[in-house]
């Protein structure tokens, strides 16, 4: 395939990784592989200029993006990232992963992602609001409850989603809650959304543990990242009897071979803002995390943390990818050779987008479910997804990641073929 002219070799690594993942799935797609090029090109990429009047009266210009990678199976779905390193190629990759994630979970969405190249921590609340509203107006052309539905990602919050919803609604002339998800609950947000991703990590982890004969009540667990995803997953494992023996955040790496009291750590973190200084545990060097022997390892912080070298030394049976893209393709190969099971990000952390789907459905119906209903429906979808992928991996004799890509690509490419959009 001819390379896209706008793929930048310096900034395009994430997109190139996505293309490599598509190459890996190609041999398993039979006749459908003729059509895989569809996924090697984003459907629509919008670059916008966002002028913002700052509090001191000057005007600054920010670069913004919204990419709809695929809308074959439904409206685009994916977050908006406010971060100084955001670039078009990164947003394209993140949109591509959303296409795969939504299809692997069989949600009726395509994949999209957005971003603004800005450090939101340097803006006042008013500047952040003006930036968000102008960005929303600039991408207004292509978003909407039936077109493309943004959500929070790194650097964006329920408040940012509330401003996006309000700006879109002002232009539409009526309140359109279904245009974004991850809103505050009193503005059409869903119960259970904030805990959904960590809960999904736990639910898929339980299923995978059962498949490999690992008893959760006696398992040991290490968690990198103690935020929205990692803390909830750690709490659920702790409550199910597992020992969470190590927790790392950006300030400290806590270790105790008899297990850390997670509810107490959560209370401490809430008070202190981070985990450093928590009593009765060892604060070890951050690189030591990868040398700890534990049945389950949960990377739930950053992308690209498990390199080939780390993959060679990890002493674990099961990796649950709470973060997006924590494992390099080369590390993936090493872990597969060593027989370590990885529940890939596109399944493991899909609890968030699943409850976002529920939020969208509830907004469109103007009828809201209880948190128990949300959790139950999410568990059913997540369990089915991991079972489908597990069976496919057994059948095709491949990793769970490749199996997830096979399941997703088949769904997308079949939909595309039956719509008559294919050569």
- Which is nearer to ligand NAD, 141 or 274 (by Cβ)? 274
Q: Of the candidates 248, 354, 399, 402, which one interacts with ligand NAD according to CB under 6 A?
A: 248
Q: 240 labelled as ligand-binding? A: no
> Would you count residue 224 as binding ligand NAD (CB under 6 A)?
yes
> Would you count residue 352 as binding ligand NAD (CB under 6 A)?
yes
- Which is nearer to ligand NAD, 276 or 383 (by Cβ)? 276
> Would you count residue 349 as binding ligand NAD (CB under 6 A)?
yes
Cβ 93 to ligand NAD, closest distance in Å? 12
- Which is nearer to ligand NAD, 150 or 322 (by Cβ)? 322
- Which is nearer to ligand NAD, 324 or 402 (by Cβ)? 324
CB-based burial, 224-261: b 16+ in 10 Å, e otherwise: bbbbbbbbbbbbbbbeeebbbbbbbbebbbbbbeebbb
Cβ 356 to ligand NAD, closest distance in Å? 9
- Which is nearer to ligand NAD, 42 or 155 (by Cβ)? 155
Check 43, 113, 183, 243 and give the catalytic one: 113
Residues between 191 and 220 that touch ligand NAD (CB under 6 A): 197
Q: Of the candidates 227, 259, 304, 329, which one interacts with ligand NAD according to CB under 6 A?
A: 227
> Would you count residue 322 as binding ligand NAD (CB under 6 A)?
yes
> Would you count residue 402 as binding ligand NAD (CB under 6 A)?
no
Contact 116, 50 (CB under 8 A): yes
> Would you count residue 407 as binding ligand NAD (CB under 6 A)?
no
Q: 58 labelled as ligand-binding? A: no
Beta carbons within 10 angstroms of residue 212's beta carbon = 11
Cβ 69 to ligand NAD, closest distance in Å? 16
Residue in 264, 263, 197, 273 with CA at minimum distance from that of residue 233: 197
Any catalytic annotation for residue 308?
no
Q: 17 labelled as ligand-binding? A: no
Tokens of 28: 């398993």
CA–CA separation, 332 and 270 (whole Å) = 35
CA–CA separation, 234 and 301 (whole Å) = 13
Q: Which residues are catalytic?
A: 113
Residues forming the site for ligand NAD (CB under 6 A): 197, 224-230, 248-250, 300-302, 322-324, 349, 352
């Amino acid at each position: 395939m001819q390379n896209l002219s706008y793929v930048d070799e310096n900034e395009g690594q994430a997109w190139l990784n996505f293309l490599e993942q598509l190459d890996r799935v190609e041999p398993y797609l039979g006749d459908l592989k003729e059509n895989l090029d569809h996924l090697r090109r984003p459907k629509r990429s919008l670059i916008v200029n966002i002028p913002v009047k700052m509090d001191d009266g000057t005007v600054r210009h920010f670069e913004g993006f919204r990419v709809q990678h695929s809308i074959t199976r439904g409206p685009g779905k994916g977050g908006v990232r406010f971060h100084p390193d955001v670039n078009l190629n990164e947003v394209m990759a993140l949109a591509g992963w959303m296409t795969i994630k939504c299809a692997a979970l069989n949600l009726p969405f395509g994949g999209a992602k957005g971003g603004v190249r800005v450090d939101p921590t340097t803006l006042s609340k008013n500047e952040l609001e003006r930036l968000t509203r102008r960005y929303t107006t600039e991408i207004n052309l292509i978003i909407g409850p039936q077109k493309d539905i943004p959500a929070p990602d790194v650097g964006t919050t329920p408040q940012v989603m509330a401003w996006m919803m309000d700006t879109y609604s002002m232009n539409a002339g009526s309140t359109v809650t279904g245009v974004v998800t991850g809103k505050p609950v009193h503005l059409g947000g869903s119960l259970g959304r904030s805990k959904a991703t960590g809960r999904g990590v736990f639910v898929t982890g339980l299923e995978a543990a059962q498949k490999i004969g690992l008893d959760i009540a006696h398992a040991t667990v290490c968690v990198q990242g103690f935020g929205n995803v990692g803390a909830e997953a750690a709490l659920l494992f702790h409550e199910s009897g597992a020992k969470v023996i190590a927790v790392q955040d950006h300030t400290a790496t806590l270790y105790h071979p008899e297990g850390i009291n997670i509810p107490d750590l959560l209370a401490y973190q809430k008070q202190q803002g981070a985990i450093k200084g928590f009593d009765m545990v060892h604060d070890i060097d951050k690189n030591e995390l990868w040398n700890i022997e534990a049945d389950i390892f949960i990377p739930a912080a950053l992308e690209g943390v498990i390199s080939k070298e780390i993959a060679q030394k990890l002493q674990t049976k099961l990796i649950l990818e709470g973060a997006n893209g924590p494992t390099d393709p080369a590390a993936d190969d090493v872990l597969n050779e060593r027989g370590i099971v990885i529940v890939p990000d596109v399944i493991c952390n899909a609890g968030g987008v699943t409850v976002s789907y529920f939020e969208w459905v509830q907004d469109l119906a103007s009828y809201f479910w209880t948190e128990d209903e949300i959790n139950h429906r999410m568990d059913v979808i997540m369990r089915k997804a991991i079972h489908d992928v597990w069976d496919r991996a057994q059948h095709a004799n491949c990793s769970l990641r490749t199996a997830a890509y096979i399941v997703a690509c088949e769904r997308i490419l079949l939909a595309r073929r039956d719509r008559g959009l294919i050569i």
